[in-house]
Amino acid sequence: MSKGTPNTRTFNGDTKDVVQMEDAAKHLPRVSSDHEKQVQESRPLDVDPVFSLREQRKIIHKVDKRLVYVLGLMYCVSLMDRVNLPNAAISGMNVNLDMNKRIRYSTVRLVFFITYTPFQPSATILTRKFGPRLFLPGLCVAWGAVMVGFGFVHKWITLIPLRLFLGLLEAGYSPGYVYLLSAWYARYDQQRRSSLFYLLSLAAAGASGILAYGMSKTDGLAGHAGWRWIFIMYGIITMMLSVLGYSLVVDFPGRCKQKKHWGFLTDDEIDFIMASQANNIRGHWKRAFTSATLIEFGGIGGIAGSLMFRTRDVPKYHLAVYLSLAFNFLIVILVCINTVFFRYENKKADRGGKVLEGDVNFRYTI
């Protein structure tokens, strides 16, 4: 994380409004060496000459309302849409579409990740090009329409192109919102909000089955089976939320060239956000592509998961459960190793024995 006054060329690669950046400069913290370590770790620190720490938190919470809450809700819906296939299968889809033969169901599950996995890294570029306010809700309304299409399928083979297209659309959402959060929040704040997204994913996964069960009870309504209404209703809800997303999600800080576009913030609050991002600018693209790559490997795990849960292992899926437990134990081990490594690297940098990420002031946030 670099210190100092930002210039118009390095802020985000585009030409910026000089006056706005000069206004933001008055909020740049002038920290002493006693505070330097806290600043390096991107922790909240009351060093702004205009706002107290409490006022800074209020400003960040304003941003939360426009980003974290709305994007988190859309993320929950995307996860629910993704796991609707097993809910529909339990509600009669496999019987109606004759999907219990051989590996038909596993094939339909697997093809989603063929497009979902490789297209994630490019999503950060598209998010930057089209802007998150248009790109992320646009993806949401598109995959909502695809979900509605699932409800009108009459042959199991038709599910394959729909799942491929759904994977392509959902591939752009997670990398896009991670990149957007990295542009608005310091590393410490971003970690907490990313954790919230993953907690929401657990809640969404738990709630999806309950909601799907309720929707399946509409069996026979308008001549459609209950499993079809699961897809149709979820698709409609998804498209409705995309309208909310378009209304509330904000663009990257550097894209708001005129302060009137910020609406929900005052002039001084705008300057504070711009200044805080000047101290957090290092590595935006690197963090964005790294996050997309990590999510991409998660997609590879989804392919493995589709193959682990075999039809012949119903109803207890012993093999899949044991493998899942083993992989989760491996995750715990890897996290512990990573934590120890980062602490070692930070201590080495504190002693002056190493420069991290090409910046003497950079420290890993653990």
Q: What is the DSSP string of 180-238?
A: HHHHHS-HHHHHHHHHHHHHHHHHHHHHHHHHHHHHHTTTTGGG--HHHHHHHHHHHHH
Looking at residue 278, its pLDDT comes to 53
Contact (CB, 8 A) for 239 and 138: no
Contact indicator for 136, 176 with CB cutoff of 8 Å:
yes
Question: Considering the domain boundaries, does residue 162 fall inside one?
Answer: yes
Residue 5 has a pLDDT of 40
CA dist 41 and 364 (Å) reads 7
The answer as to whether 171 is a domain residue is yes
pLDDT digits 0-9 by tens, 93-115: 999 999 988 888 889 988 998 99
Q: Is residue 3 part of a domain?
A: no
- Would you say residue 275 lies in a domain? no
Q: pLDDT band for 236, please (50, 70, 90 cuts).
A: very high
Domain limits at 298?
68-249+282-315
What are 294-314's pLDDT values in tens digits?
A: 666 766 777 777 777 777 777
CATH number of the domain bearing residue 165? 1.20.1250.20
Cα of 170 vs its chain's centroid, Å: 11
Q: What is the pLDDT of residue 2?
A: 41
User: Is residue 218 situated within a structural domain?
Assistant: yes
Instruction: Decide if 13 is inside a domain.
Output: no
Q: List Cα–Cα distances, 245 to 8, 138, 282, 342, in angstroms.
A: 30, 9, 28, 36
Is 241 inside any structural domain?
yes
What pLDDT does 100 receive? 85
pLDDT reported for residue 43: 46
Give the residue with greater pLDDT, 316 vs 170.
Answer: 170
**How far apart are the C-alpha atoms of 33 and 27, rounded to whole Å?**
18
Query: What are the φ and ψ backbone dihedral angles of 356, each rounded to 5 degrees?
Result: -90, 135
Does residue 302 fall inside a structural domain? yes
Domain count, the chain: 1
Quick one: pLDDT at residue 36? 43
Query: Residue 62 has what DSSP assignment?
Result: H
Cβ atoms within 10 Å of 42's Cβ, excluding its own: 21
pLDDT tens for each residue of 180-225: 888 888 777 777 888 887 787 778 777 888 888 899 899 889 889 9
Q: What is the pLDDT of residues 248-286, one digit of tens each?
A: 888 887 676 554 555 677 767 777 776 665 544 455 566
